[in-house]
Amino acid sequence: MKANPITLTYTKNYVDRSREELLEAVRQVMSSKRFTHVRGVEQAALELADRYGADLEMVSIAALLHDYAKEQSDEEMRDMIISENMDLELLQYGNNIWHGPVAAVMAKERFNVEQTSILDAIRHHTVGSVNMDLVEQIIYLADFIEPNRSFKGVDKARALAENSLEEATAFATLLTIKHLIDKKVKIYPKAIETYNAWVVQ
């Protein structure tokens, strides 16, 4: 991982402010630990974007906003799931599953993000989806392998990501599902769909 500070200037109007202003807005809604994670996700995502030829600005914006809703109250998130006509099955789950789709709505409403790849990358970053495009895969994976992460398997995921985004995405999905099974927690059906699409040969 490169330690260089990121010098990226937004020029494409995918978001209604500069990267520095976006960073500050994100910093204000989360703990410093989570903000460090978010910056790590941006770093990892930009490295993957560089390697695989994705749009750096899209990737940066999606990375910075991916956990924007993580510290919202459950009540606010429930209200948004209902008012935005999201999948009502979501209500049977919790913050872990909600914060992606809720952050996608907030990215649009508060930061005027309209670009579908950015919004879908935010929306799907925890659960994945059957048809993740390049930006979605990069954010899904960067969230998993960012430099502050340490868990069994993260090094293998990082190594796979050097050579194949698809293989790394499949590996991250398999590990996530295994972890949920080990914990005997309810699995959101869209996570199973991601598993079926990416892991099963």
Closest distance of CB 144 from Fe ion, Å: 9
| Of 199, 56, 36, the residue nearest 130 (C-alpha) | 199
143 binds Fe ion (CB under 5 A): yes
8 Å CB contact between 21 and 114: no
Q: Considering CB under 5 A, how many residues would be counted as binding Fe ion?
A: 2
Q: How many CA atoms lie within 13 A of 57 on its CB side?
A: 13
The nearest distance, CB 143 to Fe ion, in angstroms, is: 4
Q: Which is nearer to Fe ion, 112 or 148 (CB)?
A: 148
Please say which residue, 13 or 46, places its beta carbon nearer to Fe ion: 46
> Minimum Å distance from CB 37 to Fe ion?
6
Residue 67 CA to residue 102 CA, distance in Å, equals: 9
Instruction: Assign 2 to helix, strand or coil.
Output: coil
Residue 67 is a binding residue for Fe ion (CB under 5 A): yes
Residues that bind Fe ion (CB under 5 A): 67, 143
